[in-house]
Amino acid sequence: MAQKVGIDAISFYTPGAFLDLAVLAKARGVEEAKYKVGLGQDKMGIISPSEDIVTMGLEAAYDIVQGQQSAIDLVLFATESGFDFSKAAGIYLHPLLGLNAQCRVLEVKQACYAATGALQLAVQYVSLNPQKKALVISSDIAWYGFKTPGEVTQGAGAIAMIIAANPKVAVVQPGQFYTESIPDFYRPLGSEVPVVDGKLSIRTYRDIFKKVMPNKPYEYICFHQPFATMANKANEVLPYPVAEEFLTESKILGSIVGNIYNGSLFLSLLSVFMHAKKTLRGKTIGMFSYGSGSIGEFFDVTVQNDHEKAIPFSRIRQVLDDRRALSFGEYERWMNEFSTKERQLNYAVDASYISPKQRFYLKSIEQGHRLYVKR
Ligand code: COA
């Protein structure tokens, strides 16, 4: 690929509330160390009834699309938390971001891999059309249901990336990928939560990683991170494992946000950008994407000199700092409300669920169509 193409800007959003996993451990009669040490997770982001995959995508994308709208003619919205089998979630987001009418907007799905597939397709698209830019959004709500083994590995959040020629954040290289149909995780019609065989999923993740993993040393590799210690389980199969201190930097954000499915790999990249003690300029970071069902892809990103200017760090820190801890009762009430909302064709969001910090919120669902408000 002659043209340098990749991530020109990247940002992140997670809802304004979280559940501390010490609270969940106590309620479920589980040792706190299983969650905090065994799985390496500290907190999980909880979706408010006034938010969904569209509002999270809007919050993530808003800052980085300002001034870029006229160049963006492709939006790929990766999610496995879709609420409509026909209308793409990105179409709801399109007017609220002020995007052009001359813009293709698609929803893409393949478990937690779709964002990586979308990124690679967007890179190829921009390579052919270097004057254009693409917006890739991943937005997901990891909801497994109360008292399930997956309950501790929930979370919610979105990543937005602008893909452009001569990118400011990182050049994205083509990857090695591998697909095999495995029944480890899927969400069939009629099921609000995924059908999961967690142990099979962990085995398949590692098996597929072995098919595409590199045979050379890296200072940093970011892994798809359904829970933090999954990165350790993958790292230990490498011929040249990543040093513990660098792996730790890649897990910090995921451990306080939880699993955000498609965005989880890119949250790990942001974690490195936010916590690396030495400059990353010119460094090549390995990225391993895994989507149950299953696809794995390993690819390199090469960090560019101006990356710090193209990431809204202060906004990301503010989103994280502004979060409030939910009580266990609130968690139950919010997720019961989420579950009710997702089954209704008509629903009005109670004003008590709308925080003044939200720049976008869901107002209502009318005949299955969603109404959003931009403040
Ligand atoms: N102190 C420290 N560690 C403890 C502990 C304690 N008191 N109790 C248990 N642990 C460790 C276990 O040894 C295990 O670590 P190991 O795998 O390195 O041996 C870890 O905590 C998890 O315990 P485990 O009993 O395996 O958990 P589980 O059976 O409840 O399920 C998942 C864990 C991840 C399989 C489950 O949460 C799940 O299905 N999640 C959703 C799917 C998913 O995340 N898939 C991943 C691939 S995409």
Say if ligand 1 is within 6 A of residue 41 CB. no
The angle formed by the CA atoms of residues 369, 371 and 373, to the nearest 5 degrees, is: 165
Q: Which of 147, 159, 143, 186 is nearest to 337 (CA)?
A: 143
Say if ligand 1 is within 6 A of residue 31 CB. yes
Say if ligand 1 is within 6 A of residue 34 CB. yes
80 part of the active site: yes
Query: Running DSSP on this structure, what letter comes out for residue 198?
Result: H
342-374 per-position pLDDT tens digit: 999 999 999 999 999 999 999 999 999 999 999
Say if ligand 1 is within 6 A of residue 38 CB. yes
Q: Please spell the DSSP secondary structure of 91-156, one letter per residue.
A: HHHHHHTT--SS-EEEEE-BTBTHHHHHHHHHHHHHHHSTT-EEEEEEEEEE---TTSGGGGG-EE
112 part of the active site: yes
Say if ligand 1 is within 6 A of residue 205 CB. yes
Which atom of ligand 1 is closest in space to residue 201's alpha carbon?
A: 47
- Classify strands 360-366 and 221-223 as parallel, antiparallel or unpaired: unpaired
Q: Which residues of 159-185 are buried (b: 16+ CB within 10 A; e: fewer)?
A: bbbbbbbebbbbbbbebebeeeebebb
Q: For residue 317, what is the enclosing H or E element?
A: helix 313-321
- Please say whether the beta carbons of 68 and 58 come within 8 A: no
Query: Running DSSP on this structure, what letter comes out for residue 273?
Result: H
| Probe residue for ligand 1, chosen from 21, 31, 39, 290 as the CB with the greatest number of ligand atoms within 8 Å | 39
**pLDDT score for 3:** 83
Residue 27 has pLDDT above 60, yes or no: yes
- Classify strands 324-325 and 176-179 as parallel, antiparallel or unpaired: unpaired
Q: Which of 262, 252, 288 is nearest to 136 (CA)?
A: 262
- Annotated active-site residue in 80, 151, 297, 337: 80
- Please say whether the beta carbons of 108 and 120 come within 8 A: no
Residue owning the nearest CA to atom 38 of ligand 1: 150
How many Å apart are CA 356 and CA 175, to the nearest integer?
Answer: 42
164-211 per-position pLDDT tens digit: 999 999 999 999 999 999 999 999 998 999 999 999 999 999 999 999
Please tell me whether the overall predicted TM-score, pTM, comes out greater than 0.95 for this model: yes
103 part of the active site: no
86-144 per-position pLDDT tens digit: 999 999 999 999 999 999 999 999 999 999 999 999 999 999 999 999 999 999 999 99
**pLDDT score for 366:** 98
**pLDDT score for 2:** 63
What are the respective helix, strand and coil percentages of the chain, to the nearest 5? 35, 25, 35
Residue 298 has pLDDT above 70, yes or no: yes
Beta bridge partners of 106: 76
How many Å apart are CA 178 and CA 375, to the nearest integer?
Answer: 43
- Annotated active-site residue in 94, 107, 224, 337: 224
209-265 per-position pLDDT tens digit: 999 999 999 999 999 999 999 999 999 999 999 999 999 999 999 999 999 999 999
Say if ligand 1 is within 6 A of residue 299 CB. no
Q: Which of 278, 284, 286, 290 is nearest to 222 (CA)?
A: 286
Which atom of ligand 1 is closest in space to residue 292's alpha carbon?
A: 48
Say if ligand 1 is within 6 A of residue 195 CB. no
- Please say whether the beta carbons of 83 and 193 come within 8 A: no
Q: Which of 126, 5, 8 is nearest to 65 (CA)?
A: 8
Residue 1 has pLDDT above 70, yes or no: no
Which residue type occupies 85? F
Q: What is the mean pLDDT of residues 35-52?
A: 98
Residue 163 has pLDDT above 80, yes or no: yes
Say if ligand 1 is within 6 A of residue 33 CB. yes
**pLDDT score for 39:** 98
Q: How far is the CA of 230 from the centre of ligand 1 (A)?
A: 9
Provide the strand spans (E) within 180-223: 185-186, 195-196, 221-223
| Probe residue for ligand 1, chosen from 34, 206, 255 as the CB with the greatest number of ligand atoms within 8 Å | 34
Residue 51 has pLDDT above 60, yes or no: yes
Say if ligand 1 is within 6 A of residue 226 CB. yes
**pLDDT score for 302:** 98
Q: How far is the CA of 27 from the centre of ligand 1 (A)?
A: 17
Which residue type occupies 12? F
- Annotated active-site residue in 94, 112, 249, 337: 112
For the chain, state the CA radius of gyration. 19
How many Å apart are CA 223 and CA 88, to the nearest integer?
Answer: 28
| Mutual angle of helices 328-342 and 21-28, in 10-degree steps | 90
Residue owning the nearest CA to atom 9 of ligand 1: 34
| Probe residue for ligand 1, chosen from 153, 264, 290 as the CB with the greatest number of ligand atoms within 8 Å | 153
Residue 42 has pLDDT above 70, yes or no: yes
Q: How far is the CA of 272 from the centre of ligand 1 (A)?
A: 24
Q: Which of 285, 252, 245 is nearest to 268 (CA)?
A: 252
